[in-house]
């Protein structure tokens, strides 16, 4: 398990020997690896600058710069549409109850109007006689 040391004079940080071996590779020796190997101190720790550490941290984080924000937004919109489609068929939601109440009110008003017309037609028939 890698050990993390404290910052030295605000410019360098330490990473444990396991991480150093991962960075250096197992037995391979290229010029960049030899340069990195020169940064390994006697305590078998890698010393790197704060800029290098910040770059590593940035590459590990999921941010808007990685393009993940657009994908998350697209996924969220798709899930919201699926949810609305599913809820539309539920009879016990506030919107469904309001719609049912409005339909009942309209039906009742239509029935009352039909009843009024029958009464008016009957009264007109009586007045003619």
**Stretch 91-114: mean pLDDT:** 94
Tell me what pLDDT residue 32 has: 55
Q: What are phi and psi of 47, to 5 degrees?
A: -110, 125
* Alpha carbon distance 57, 59 (integer Å): 5
Alpha helices, DSSP H only, in the chain?
17-24, 31-37, 50-60, 68-87, 94-128
* Alpha carbon distance 61, 17 (integer Å): 23
Mean pLDDT, the chain, whole residue set: 75
Q: Which of 110, 88, 109 is nearest to 99 (CA)?
A: 88
* Alpha carbon distance 81, 93 (integer Å): 16
Domain spans in the chain, listed from the N-terminal domain onward: 12-60, 92-129
Q: And the tokens for 107?
A: 């039906």
Choose from 19-23, 37-41, 60-64, 95-99 the range with maximum mean pLDDT: 95-99
Q: pTM to 2 decimals?
A: 0.38
pLDDT, tens only, 106-129? 999 999 999 999 999 999 888 887
pLDDT level of residue 62 (50, 70, 90 thresholds) = low
Residue 21 predicted with pLDDT over 60: no
Q: What are phi and psi of 55, to 5 degrees?
A: -65, -40
């Amino acid at each position: 398990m890698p050990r993390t040391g404290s910052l030295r004079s605000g410019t360098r940080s330490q990473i444990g020997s396991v991480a150093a071996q991962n960075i250096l590779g197992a037995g391979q020796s290229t010029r960049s690896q030899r340069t990195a190997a020169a940064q390994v101190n006697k305590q078998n720790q890698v010393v790197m600058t704060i800029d290098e550490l910040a770059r590593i941290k940035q590459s590990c984080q999921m941010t808007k710069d990685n393009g993940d924000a657009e994908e998350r937004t697209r996924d969220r919109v798709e899930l919201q549409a699926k949810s609305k489609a599913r809820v539309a068929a539920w009879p016990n939601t506030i919107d469904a109850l309001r719609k049912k109440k409005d339909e009942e009110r309209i039906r009742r008003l239509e029935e009352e109007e039909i009843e009024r017309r029958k009464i008016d037609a009957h009264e007109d028939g009586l007045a003619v006689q």
